């Protein structure tokens, strides 16, 4: 997954409920007891946590652009993520 993404996960987290009330569009969603992989050595192992990822930046290899995209993303979606306020300081 190139670029920058946000991952929210937890052992008691319900991504479906969270996403139903959030304005985020997930890139991927997984649940407790989902297989870690469809094939290969991890196919017999299962997830112990649930969560999702959202694409924040597709600027692969451009850290400065990823930082700028992340600032825009967090500012735009701060309430949907659960932040009442969002302040970013650049150094």
- Tens digits of residue pLDDT in 22-33: 888 999 999 999
Quick one: CA dihedral 24, 81, 6, 31, positive or negative?
negative
pLDDT at 90: 52
Which two three-digit tokens encode residue 69?
């995209």
Every domain of the chain and the residues it spans? 4-81
Residues 45-54 have pLDDT tens digits of 999 999 999 9
**Mean pLDDT, the chain, as a whole number?**
85
Going from the C-alpha of 65 to that of each of 1, 3, 9, 29, the distances in angstroms are: 16, 9, 25, 26
pTM of the model: 0.78
The mean pLDDT of 69-76, rounded to a whole number, is: 89
User: Does residue 39 contact residue 45 with C-beta atoms inside 8 Å?
Assistant: no
- Whole-number Å distance between alpha carbons of 1 and 14: 23
Tokens 């479906």 belong to 16
């Amino acid at each position: 997954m190139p670029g920058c993404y946000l991952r929210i996960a937890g052992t008691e987290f319900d991504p479906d409920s969270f996403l139903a009330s959030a304005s985020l569009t997930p890139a991927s969603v997984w649940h407790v007891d989902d297989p870690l992989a469809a094939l290969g050595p991890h196919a017999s192992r299962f997830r112990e946590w649930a969560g999702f990822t959202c694409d924040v930046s597709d600027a692969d290899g451009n850290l400065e652009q990823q930082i700028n995209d992340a600032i825009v993303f967090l500012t735009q979606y701060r309430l949907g993520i659960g932040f009442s306020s969002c302040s970013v300081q650049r150094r």
